[in-house]
């Protein structure tokens, strides 16, 4: 997809990390952004930062922040509706929200491993479903990028739940390849570097490179 000013994107987990970096890269191209994040403070700070990328005065906000727990389907659905009502469609969806809990699951009395699966996998499935519905309603082609991990391709022995959640994202995304016939390309990115290195890499990498990299992955 060739990015053009006036397109719109929704980014989950867009207030920090890789999601924030990609949102900034899109805003620099003139793409209108909806940020979903559970942190009100970080979300509004990022929204203000993104708005600075738009030099022209618009009749509607170029950036929308929605405080959202991605595991709450009611909140997630409302955020997609708000994006559609604001921008009239959806061209790009980036599912970047994720958590990493390295506590051995057999010794996890809090059962936080269930939250890891809910955020990293189930919420991605829900968001992808909503993105497809929104894109089809817009009658325009679209791109969905799900954030995987190298640990979803190879076992991560000290974090089996995290590795399983990302492995699920990889296979789920690749299974959606047939939607390309309807004009929706769905890809998964699997960073092979640590969090800080990945963030630094993306801040110094063009959005075009991200798109080209995603094309190398089947699905």
- Token pair, residue 181, equals 């016939």
Listed in sequence order, the DSSP H helices in 38-122 are 40-51, 73-87, 112-117
Helices 73-87, 123-138: inter-axial angle, 10-degree rounding: 30
Angstrom distance (rounded) from CA 187 to CA 215:
7
**Residue positions annotated with a catalytic role:** 162
DSSP 213: H
Query: Using alpha carbons only, how large is the chain's radius of gyration in Å?
Result: 17
Instruction: Judge residue 124's burial from the number of C-beta atoms within 10 Å of its C-beta, 0-12 exposed, 13-18 middle, 19 or more buried.
Output: buried
d(CA 98, CA 106): 21
Residue 63 tokens read as 């950036």
Are 7 and 32 within 8 A, CB to CB?
Answer: yes
Tokens of 128: 């992808």
């Amino acid at each position: 997809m060739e990015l053009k000013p006036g397109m719109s994107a929704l980014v989950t987990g867009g207030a920090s990390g890789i999601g924030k970096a990609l949102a900034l890269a899109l805003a620099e191209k003139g793409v209108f952004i909806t940020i979903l994040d559970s942190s009100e403070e970080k979300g509004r700070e990022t929204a203000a930062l993104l708005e600075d990328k738009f030099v022209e005065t618009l009749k509607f906000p170029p950036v929308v922040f929605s405080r959202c727990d991605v595991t709450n389907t009611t909140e997630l659905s409302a955020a997609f509706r708000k994006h559609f009502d604001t921008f009239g469609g959806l061209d790009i969806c980036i599912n970047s929200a994720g958590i990493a809990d390295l506590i051995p699951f057999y010794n996890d009395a809090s059962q936080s491993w269930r939250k890891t699966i809910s955020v990293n996998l189930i919420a991605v499935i829900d968001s992808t479903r909503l993105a497809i519905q929104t894109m089809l309603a817009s009658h325009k082609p679209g791109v969905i990028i799900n954030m995987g991990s190298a640990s979803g391709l190879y076992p991560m022995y000290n974090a089996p739940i995290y590795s399983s959640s990302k492995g699920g994202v990889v296979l789920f995304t690749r299974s959606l390849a047939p939607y390309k016939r309807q004009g929706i390309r769905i890809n998964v990115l699997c960073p092979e570097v640590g969090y800080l290195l990945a963030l630094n890499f993306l801040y110094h990498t063009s959005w075009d490179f991200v798109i080209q990299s995603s094309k190398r992955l089947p699905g």
